[in-house]
Amino acid sequence: MKIAVIGAGNMGGAIVRGLASGTKVAPENIWVSNPSQPKLDALKTCCPALSVTTDNRQAAEAADYIVLAVKPWLVGEVLGALSLRKEQVLLSLAAGVTFDRLAEYAGTERTLFRVIPNTAVSERASMTLIASHNATPEQEKTVLSLFDELGLAMLIPESKMTAAMILASCGIAYVLKYIHAATEAGVEMGIAPKDAMKMVAQSVEGAARLILDNDTHPAVEIDKVTTPGGVTIKGLNELDHAGFASAVIRAMKACL
């Protein structure tokens, strides 16, 4: 399998690094294109086996799967300059660019994927959302396996993409907001800022692992640490009094 990544910005570059260090595609089978050379040089230094170019058409020419990692307003221009073969599969990372619009640029019969990672893709810890159009089950399995190596990938209908992006992409900012606030609380209680931040961040990672590794529910795990009359239940009740759950729900729904 050969892959071309068009665009070597923050997201495109992170995906290239993740794919090159994974097991699904050999680095020598990855082409990367970008209009500016420095970002390509940085990727080449990281992984010398990559092929890099400033020519999008050259990158896409021999690829089976083409990952379009450009800004939404550049999608039409970039695709219009490519001469894609009908069997080539297009994966678009452009949030908000629907299958209908992609089909206008790339052809209605083409196999298309919308792929929305979040910023944790740089740490190979992304929650990546994937929707497919004209794809076979085998193609869906292939794309899921590629992005599962960059965290966790989930196939969803395009109709659910906006809501899922709010949970997984906007949502990561809300988790970081909690880490920031909890860190400040730790500093007020006398913990050094860097130590407090590590404590909170590790606690967040641990909470996530409990859910993901055990197929459990947050309420179940909360019950395990709320002893009668203990300090945890006092803090949880204070969060409820302050409208914590309602604030999170309202923040998510405000993004619709």
Could you report the per-residue pLDDT of 162-204, keeping only the tens digit for each? 999 999 999 999 999 999 999 999 999 999 999 999 999 999 9
Q: What percent of the chain has pLDDT over 70?
A: 100
What is the arithmetic mean of pLDDT over 113-138?
Answer: 96
Backbone angles phi, psi at 135, to 5 degrees: -100, 145
Instruction: Report the pLDDT value the prediction gives residue 220, as an integer from 0 to 100.
Output: 97
Compute the residue count for the chain: 256
Q: Are strands 30-33 and 3-6 parallel, antiparallel or unpaired?
A: parallel
What is the arithmetic mean of pLDDT over 33-45?
Answer: 94
The first and second tokens of residue 96, run together, are: 């908000």
Q: What percent of the chain has pLDDT over 90?
A: 96
Mean pLDDT, the chain, whole residue set: 95
What is the arithmetic mean of pLDDT over 114-133?
Answer: 95
> What HEC string does 38-101 produce?
HHHHHHHHHCCCCEEECCHHHHHCCCCEEEECCCHHHHHHHHHCCCCCCCCEEEECCCCCCHHH
243: left (phi over 0), alpha (psi -120 to 50) or beta: left
Neighbouring C-beta atoms of residue 252, cutoff 10 Å: 15
Q: Are strands 89-92 and 65-68 parallel, antiparallel or unpaired?
A: parallel
For helices 231-241 and 244-254, what crossing angle results, to 10°?
50
Could you report the per-residue pLDDT of 46-66, keeping only the tens digit for each? 999 999 999 999 999 989 999
CA distance 197 to 194: 5
Could you report the per-residue pLDDT of 5-28, keeping only the tens digit for each? 999 999 999 999 999 998 999 999
Specify whether the CB–CB gap between 210 and 221 falls below 8 A: yes
| Superfamily, domain 3-156 | NAD(P)-binding Rossmann-like Domain (3.40.50.720)
CATH 1.10.20.10 fits 164-254, yes or no: no
Instruction: Report the pLDDT value the prediction gives residue 108, as an integer from 0 to 100.
Output: 87
Could you report the per-residue pLDDT of 95-105, keeping only the tens digit for each? 999 999 999 99
> What HEC string does the chain produce?
CCEEEECCCHHHHHHHHHHHCCCCCCHHHEEEECCCHHHHHHHHHHCCCCEEECCHHHHHCCCCEEEECCCHHHHHHHHHCCCCCCCCEEEECCCCCCHHHHHHHHCCCCCEEEEECCHHHHHCCEEEEEEEECCCHHHHHHHHHHHHCCEEEEECCHHHHHHHHHHHHHHHHHHHHHHHHHHHHHHHCCCCHHHHHHHHHHHHHHHHHHHHHHCCCHHHHHHHCCCCCCHHHHHHHHHHHCCHHHHHHHHHHHCC
Amino acid at 202: Q
Instruction: Report the pLDDT value the prediction gives residue 52, as an integer from 0 to 100.
Output: 96
Instruction: Report the pLDDT value the prediction gives residue 83, as an integer from 0 to 100.
Output: 86
The domain limits of the chain are 3-156, 164-254
